[in-house]
Structure 1
Amino acid sequence: MHVVPLVQENLRNEPLAQQMSSPSSAQATEGMYYKLIDDDHSHGTGVAHGAHPVCAVRVTQSLRGPGPYRLATICLAALCAVLLISIIAITAHYKNKPQGGGNLASDSQHQGQDVNVSLLTATIHKLQEEKQQLQKEKDELQVKLAATKAPCVIKPTTKAPPIPSPIVCSSDWRLFNNSCYFISTIRHDWEDSQSFCQTHGGHLAIIHTAEEQTFLWDLLPRGHWNSYWFGITDEHTEDQWKWVDGTPLVGGFWEVGEPNNHINEDCGYIVKTTVLERVAIRSWYDAPCSMTLPFICEKEMGTNPQ
């Protein structure tokens, strides 16, 4: 409305005392006020027609009163306007501000959802373990069922191995372990002695153990220098003694200082004398292969099943 600016304009144009004391001035102001009301109404300010008398009376009375009342009225109107604007601003602020309760409710809802997810995950894990256990039990039951339904198979009885028959050596041959041994009374050189043994299905004796050596020693008669060829020689390579089957000698039962290859001595023989201090495990000597001596033959018999 244009009331306040017009009043202020009139107050600036004439002194306050004249405004208060001059009736004509009051009437003129009142007329001017009504004229402003009509102008506002005629310009479509939207003020209700019934409100004109009230507003007119209040303002007129205030303008006709003393100056302090007029000033207080103006201040109150300005204060009301400020309060109204403040209330509108505060209302708009709180409408736009999110409510804390909503956040709390949302947080609570999220927490509840997290708890539900954890419970579902634990339940799924437990169900998976139970499924695995049931599958294991199912497999075991299927194996047992298949075993009960399997046809009965009669296993053939294995034939017992035949009992080996005892080895029987020919006349003049002596048994030790699985071999038969022959102590000759005739004389040959080393090569002819090997040939004789081969014609009888054997060879010159091959001696590997002390038990075998002692057994043969005990078969030999004592004498001044009773000596017998057996199946060892180094005629192909000096000091590389080999058995007649081609295997190398390992160890041996040589007399102390033997073999010495004194005069091209390439064949081995066993000596048994009347000297009782001589023992079986130190009775081997080397001698020239051309010497004629009795000999010892060996024939492996193996096992003879019945």
Structure 2
Amino acid sequence: MSTNGSSLACEGMYSKLMDDEDEYDNLNRRPDVRLSAHPVSPVMVIPKPSGPGPYRLVAFCLAALCAVLLISIIAVTAHYKNKTQSDVEGKSEMQQQDVNTSALTASISKLQQEKAQLQREKDELLAKLATKMTTKAPSVIKPVTKAPIVCPMDWHLFSNSCYFISRTTRDWPESQSYCQSKGAHLAIIHTAEEQTFLWNLLPRGHWNAFWFGITDEHTEDHFWEVGEPNNHIDEDCGYIVKTEVLERVPIRSWYDAPCSMYWRFICEKEMGAGASTATPH
């Protein structure tokens, strides 16, 4: 039932009721209508409406109006209550967002401060490093380079020594003196490679002999020929022999002989440290 329909219905019934009462009053007030104990003529008397019917309808309409008003009030109240609750929740949410925004702003500010502090520390470290590099020049390790060994003319290089093969003959002491005059000494042979190198420099002949700097008193092995040194007739000085016999080998070419014999000789000039000489006894 709508509010407008109920109101119109009740107003219509109320108006009808009021019209009935007015009509009844008008009939009672007419002068030509009298009530007598003895009826003179037949007169129609309109009875006053009796019974609770119209009043109940009015009461029902009033109750309906009250119910409608109550429902409307409840609806309006609920609407405003929901709206108020929504406003409160929205306000609370906005406040929470404000709190979150404030916390985020504080975090950003703290991070910016930490970044600035780190940047200052970085700048300080770079400044210290630059100062240290300026005040203390880094030590430069220069590679040690050795100058190439250059032997004098007619001298032959092997390892760190230069060797000279003479064309004239001298005895062992004179050969040693000549080598010393050139800043050298009679060759002292230590390895098979050195022995082979020098033997290849010697010319072949019937009996080409060359003094070198080892005596049989100091060296009794190495590259002696079989049966040598035999120290026959004070043969204290050593020499190298190279003949035309191709079967001879460098490592079996040493002999001993008296130091007074005249042979060609081999000088050795050591171009590095550790130079040594040998003298016959």
The two structures have a TM-score, normalised by structure 1, of 0.44
The two structures have a TM-score, normalised by structure 2, of 0.48
